[in-house]
Structures are given as structure tokens and as C-alpha cells.
């Protein structure tokens, strides 16, 4: 079973949520540079998936996974936890898409 959403659209939604998470992590001033380098590295990895599979339709399971994952990071309000999730979120997203982190 597939979803109407393409992988490119789903990753686009994921990256929008990821940007908000990055902004939250930036509140830790001492980690501003690391936060942005980390976000850039993972954004680049997710964009390689868009480049190679962006036109594919999401499976229903993968679409539900990314929706739930986005809800998980939207529930984060602590900037320290946000930094942890800047690394965790892309790993979970890539696994949900059948990719290696």
C-alpha cells in the first residue's frame, strides 16, 4: 500500500520541522556552531535521498512513521533535547525510508 505523498514532499515536510528544531537548539549559544554544522550535515544526507528517490510514492507505513516522527520533535521544548534530536531525527527518518543513516 502506498501514500499519495512523494518521498520528496515527505522529506520537505520533515526538513521544515527539522529547521524549527534547529532554531530551538540554537538557543544554546555555546553550541550555535555545532548545531548548524550538524543540521547542515544531516540536511545534506536527506537531500541525497530526495535526489535519488524523490519521485517515489511513500509507503503508507513510511508516511505514518514520518508524520509521527515530526509530531515527536514538535513536542520538544528543551533546547538541549533539541540538540540530541538534531542527530536522532534524521537517523529515524532515514530508517523509516529504508535508507542507512
Partner 1 sequence: MRFQDAARDGRAVVYAGIQADPLVARAAALLAEASHAQRVLARAVMNGEATDPAGWRTMFPTLFGEGGAGGASEDDRARSEAILAASLAVAERGEQVRSQFRGAIVEALTADLLARRVGAASVRRERRILFDGVRAEIHPYDVTVERDGAAEAHDCKWGARGINADVLHQLDDARTHAAEEDEHLTIGLVVFDAERSCRVRLDRQSAPNGSTAIIGLESLDALATGVPRP
Q: Footprint of partner 1 on this chain (CB under 8 A)?
A: 31, 33-34, 37-38, 41-42, 45, 59, 61-62, 64-65, 68-69, 71-72, 75-76, 81, 83-85, 87-88, 91-92, 95-96, 98, 100-101
Q: Which is nearer to partner 1, 19 or 101 (CB)?
A: 101
Q: How far is CA 7 from CA 21, 29, 31, 32, 55, in A?
A: 21, 34, 31, 30, 6
Q: Which is nearer to partner 1, 9 or 88 (CB)?
A: 88
Q: Considering the complex, what minimum distance in angstroms separates the CB of residue 86 from partner 1?
A: 8
Q: How far is CA 98 from CA 24, 52, 82, in A?
A: 28, 13, 24
Q: Considering the complex, what minimum distance in angstroms separates the CB of residue 8 from partner 1?
A: 18
Amino acid at each position: 500500500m502506498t501514500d499519495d505523498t512523494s518521498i520528496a514532499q515527505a522529506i520537505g515536510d520533515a526538513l521544515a520541522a527539522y529547521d524549527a528544531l534547529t532554531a530551538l537548539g540554537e538557543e544554546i549559544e555555546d553550541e550555535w556552531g555545532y548545531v548548524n554544522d550538524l543540521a547542515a550535515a544531516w540536511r545534506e544526507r536527506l537531500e541525497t535521498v530526495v535526489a535519488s528517490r524523490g519521485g517515489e510514492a511513500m509507503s503508507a507505513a513510511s508516511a505514518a512513521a514520518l508524520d509521527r516522527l515530526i509530531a515527536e520533535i514538535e513536542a520538544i521544548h528543551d533546547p538541549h533535547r533539541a540538540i540530541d534530536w538534531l542527530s536522532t531525527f534524521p537517523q529515524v527518518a532515514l530508517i523509516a525510508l529504508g535508507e542507512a543513516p
